[in-house]
Amino acid sequence: MRMRVAIVTETWPPEINGVALTVQSLARGLAGLGHAVELVRPRQDGETDSGTTSADGYDQVILPGAALPRYPGLRFGLPAHRSLHRRWSERRPDVLYIATEGPLGLTALGAARRLGLPACTGFHTRFDDFARHYGLGWLTPIVFAYLRRFHNRASATLVPTTELADFLGANGFRNVRLLRRAVDTELFDPARRDEALRAEWGLSPDDLAVIHVGRIAPEKNLDLAVRAFRAIRERQPKARFVWVGEGPARAEIEKANPDFVFAGLRRGEELARHFASADLFLFPSLTETFGNVTLEAMASGVPTVAFDYGAAHDHLRNGVHGATVKFGDHEAFVRAAVHVAADPRMRRAMGAQARASVATLSPESVTHRFDMLLSSFPSKRKAEWRAA
């Protein structure tokens, strides 16, 4: 059944983060199923005008935004209650999906409630955890309480893992529903392994390439990645550590570790080529809501070492696809990294099994689940919409 769906997000490509890429995949998927999709987002750097444009089979409503403090390259949407109320009064959606909890998301939720529109939200980021890593730990309980109030005003909150669903349900979040994340296994493919790229990193075919992909920032616990690699390097002197991404901590890490390879931001096929050309992925973050890069590494056939939560908890089997260790146990993380790095035959077997295990997490399957969830929140005036 065809629906009019409004998606509200405060992050969108070319911004590179899991939320932006996930929401883009969902918007494209719904449009591909024939739904009328309206994307509401803030104006980005380089865009001079607000207004409505069309791209990828859906409309984009571009509203004023501002730079996110202490997070260069990202923006948030300014409050837009009056604009959204007027627009949705004239072009009433059947259902809303609000992906972010900033000012734009909050006013979108308020407009939906005033108009009697069903709205579900996505819990994509643990902003309460982020506060602690930017010297604002005292804000953690306040931020968490805000997130709970925000999401409980919606018809449902969609989350990517069973672990997060259980945690939120136990902490006062109502009507939490599971919507797993997808991974593009055509893009992220072991066949993209490139020996010429590895040679640029200073590696021969039998040498070890360790990789980290993600924002290079304080909340990512990157000192542990450095420590784990140094332990690996003691046993395998030819190993190289390749970093894909940018962020405020890059300069400091690069200065302290001149032997590391910093590849900068990579997108699409370039990112997939870097992933597939690695032999081991270290993911030491303790602040992920999910961690899309875990699935991307697995699809690329790269064994992964991560803490046992988020995507790793739901998808990464310890000793089969890599290693998962107890949340926060840094010593165990280093030991696991050294163990997996030491055995090439074991790494190859883990990579092959990791690849096979994510084969069913296609964007198409996740889109159909999303469609089903949205369809379960019917608008009171849906019949009026279709008659118009």
> In 179-303, at which residue ranges do the beta strands (DSSP E only) sit?
209-213, 240-244, 261-264, 280-283
Q: What is the pLDDT of residues 313-344, one digit of tens each?
A: 999 999 999 999 999 999 999 999 999 999 99
Same-domain pairing of 170 and 113: yes
Same-domain pairing of 175 and 274: no
> To the nearest whole percent, how much of the chain has pLDDT over 90?
73
Q: Is the pLDDT reported for residue 53 higher than 80?
A: no
Element (DSSP H or E) covering residue 61: strand 58-63
Q: What is the pLDDT of residues 65-86, one digit of tens each?
A: 887 766 655 677 888 999 999 9
Q: What is the pLDDT of residue 380?
A: 46
Q: What is the pLDDT of residues 224-272, one digit of tens each?
A: 999 999 999 999 999 999 999 999 999 999 999 999 999 999 999 999 9
Q: What is the pLDDT of residue 105?
A: 94
Cα four-point dihedral sign 144, 148, 150, 156: positive
Q: What is the pLDDT of residues 29-41, one digit of tens each?
A: 999 999 999 999 9
Same-domain pairing of 104 and 200: no
Q: What is the pLDDT of residue 73?
A: 59
Say how far apart CA 115 and CA 37 lie, in whole Å.
Answer: 19
Name the residue among 120, 104, 115 with its Cα closest to residue 65: 104
pLDDT band at 94 (very low <50, low <70, confident <90, very high): very high
Q: What is the pLDDT of residues 178-199, one digit of tens each?
A: 999 999 999 999 999 999 999 9
Cα(first)–Cα(last) distance of the chain, in Å?
Answer: 16
CB 243 within 8 A of CB 266: no
Kindly report the CATH number assigned to the domain that includes residue 63.
3.40.50.2000
Same-domain pairing of 350 and 225: yes
Same-domain pairing of 18 and 113: yes
Which are the contacts of 90, defined by CB distance < 8 A and separation ≥ 6? none
Instruction: Report the mean per-residue pLDDT for the chain.
Output: 90
Q: What is the pLDDT of residue 387?
A: 36
CA atoms within 13 A on the CB side of 382: 16
Say how far apart CA 118 and CA 103 lie, in whole Å.
Answer: 19
pLDDT band at 384 (very low <50, low <70, confident <90, very high): very low
Say how far apart CA 208 and CA 229 lie, in whole Å.
Answer: 11
Q: Is the pLDDT reported for residue 96 higher than 50?
A: yes
pTM of the model: 0.81
Q: Is the pLDDT reported for residue 112 higher than 70?
A: yes
Q: What is the pLDDT of residues 122-161, one digit of tens each?
A: 998 766 565 555 555 657 788 889 999 999 999 999 999 9
Say how far apart CA 320 and CA 332 lie, in whole Å.
Answer: 17
Same-domain pairing of 42 and 117: yes
Q: What is the pLDDT of residue 136?
A: 59
pLDDT band at 218 (very low <50, low <70, confident <90, very high): confident
For the beta carbon of residue 367, count every other beta carbon within 10 angstroms: 21
Instruction: Name the token pair of 214.
Output: 């993600």
Strands 75-77 and 65-67 turn out to be antiparallel
Same-domain pairing of 266 and 125: no
Angle between helices 18-32 and 292-299 (to 10 degrees): 70
Number of domains in the chain: 2
Say how far apart CA 209 and CA 136 lie, in whole Å.
Answer: 36
Same-domain pairing of 145 and 18: yes
Name the residue among 59, 107, 61 with its Cα closest to residue 85: 107
Q: Is the pLDDT reported for residue 388 higher than 60?
A: no
Q: Is the pLDDT reported for residue 382 higher than 50?
A: no
Range of the structural domain that residue 320 is part of? 190-357
Phi–psi pair at 236, nearest 5 degrees: -135, 85
Name the residue among 357, 210, 381, 349 with its Cα closest to residue 284: 210
Alpha carbon distances (Å) from 202 to 223, 280, 297: 23, 16, 21
Q: What is the pLDDT of residue 278?
A: 98
DSSP letter for 43, please. P
Higher pLDDT, 133 or 104: 104
Same-domain pairing of 243 and 122: no
Q: Is the pLDDT reported for residue 360 higher than 90?
A: no
Instruction: Name the token pair of 273.
Output: 């080529």
Q: What is the pLDDT of residue 134?
A: 54
Q: Is the pLDDT reported for residue 116 higher than 60?
A: yes
- What is the pLDDT averaged over residues 103-123? 94
Q: What is the pLDDT of residue 319?
A: 97
Instruction: Name the token pair of 17.
Output: 């983060």
Same-domain pairing of 136 and 96: yes
Same-domain pairing of 26 and 95: yes
Say how far apart CA 263 and CA 142 lie, in whole Å.
Answer: 37
Same-domain pairing of 138 and 250: no
Q: Is the pLDDT reported for residue 383 higher than 50?
A: no
Q: Is the pLDDT reported for residue 203 higher than 80?
A: yes
